[in-house]
Amino acid sequence: MDKLLITGGKRLSGEIAISGAKNAALPILCAGLLTSETLQLSNVPHLQDVTTMLKLLRQMGMRTEQDGDRLALDAGAIERLEAPYEMVKTMRASILVLGPLVARFGEARVSLPGGCAIGSRPVDQHIKGLQAMGAEITIEAGYIHAKAKKLKGARIVTDMITVTGTENLLMAATLAEGETILENAAREPEVTDLANLLVAMGAKIDGIGTDRLVVQGVDRLHGASHAVIPDRIETGTFLCAAAAAGGDVTLTRTRSDILDVALDKLREAGVVITTGPDWIRAQMAARPKAVSFRTTEYPGFPTDMQAQFMALNCIAEGSSRVTETIFENRFMHVQELNRLGASIDIDGHTAVITGVDKLIGAPVMATDLRASASLVIAGLAAQGHTLIDRIYHLDRGYDRMEVKLSAVGADIQRTK
């Protein structure tokens, strides 16, 4: 099993090119099921989750052609309307095939999902929405079995804001008969990116970027070309790395307008942030200042950046409070950060961090995708050697992180 060995204390300097967004690419790949024509995608990231999703789609009969970050999808001959457990257990985003399959083919059998063990992420909102659109759904032997001769438009109000729920129901609504209104819809940039692709495919969607999406169903969707948006979480992670290790790093092929809250917090921590149309520069010459925050749905502070900022707070001047409101089990990195000499106490859904003068390298273990990123950041700032185990979590969402960090001066290498 691969591990990362980091020798900390190296300042970072140079440029890093940001990859396409994992959380945009996965639903966009599933959108390929909505048409028999070809989708031409670009800026598709090289990630384990993308590889897993493509394997699932090929198993269904989708043809794919890949050339670098370009990908052609052809779902003209889908043979199997099922997402089996062995494919779904490692990645809960597999649930995103449910809406497109029912909408286009009238049936789907999808295993209940797995993924990171960061807390309960129920699919009841997906099921509730599809039932409102006329689907008959049963859950048997760990599988969701959905059937509908033709989905009908409906007004759907989800009990909670759910990104994958919004994406699943939005895709289903594009081919439903009549008008569908999605209230309390997620507003994340990745949802907007999916909606923009669907419009390019011929869907009729109003309210893109808001919490109320109105969809007029069409008989069929056609092929389209689309570039996946930059990964705002990868961007934020490398900015935190520059803030923790110190230095001068410019991130290219990215956007600052979908990362406003995180950029504000970095400035509050003392990072000098400058931005352009497709780049962000971070300069850090002093010890960071502690910053407190509360995670919430977009456009608030993203839960996917909580662990990385906590790592930064570990070596910051002062104390901070970090409250997690999205996932109830997303503090598993705390124990590992404390192994490096951090001072973090948990009080319910809030972590209280007292900044220390230095962290000391030690063997640690990644527990989920973003937790592993926080350990990389802490390792870069720590004195001595940090060995991070179970980095397969990291590979699910970061494209060759160690290669990108090495290019800007980090002493980081992958070992067996």
- What pLDDT is attached to residue 330? 80
Structure-block tokens of residue 240: 């935190």
116 is catalytic: yes
CA 217 to chain centre: 28
DSSP 236-263: HHHHHHHHHH-EEEEEES--STT-HHHH
Nearest alpha carbon to residue 240 among 308, 327, 192:
308
CA 56 to chain centre: 19
H-type helices in 61-114, by residue range? 85-88, 98-105
Under 8 Å between Cβ of 405 and 8:
no
- Bridge partners (DSSP) listed for residue 205: 215
Which is the catalytic residue, given 30, 116, 240, 314? 116
Residue 279 to residue 230: CA distance in whole angstroms: 11
- What pLDDT is attached to residue 229? 98
Length of the chain in residues, anyone? 416
Half-sphere exposure of 213 (CA within 13 A, CB side): 34
Rounded to the nearest 10°, the torsion over CA 125, 126, 131, 136 is -130
- What pLDDT is attached to residue 89? 83
Structure-block tokens of residue 169: 């129901």
Under 8 Å between Cβ of 53 and 29:
yes
The alpha carbons of the chain give a radius of gyration, in whole angstroms, of: 21
What average pLDDT values come out for the chain (416 residues) when binned by 10 residues?
Answer: 96 98 98 98 96 96 97 97 89 93 97 56 86 95 94 96 96 98 98 98 98 98 98 98 98 98 98 98 97 96 97 98 86 95 95 98 94 97 98 93 98 95
Provide the whole-model pTM: 0.96
The type of residue at 32 is G
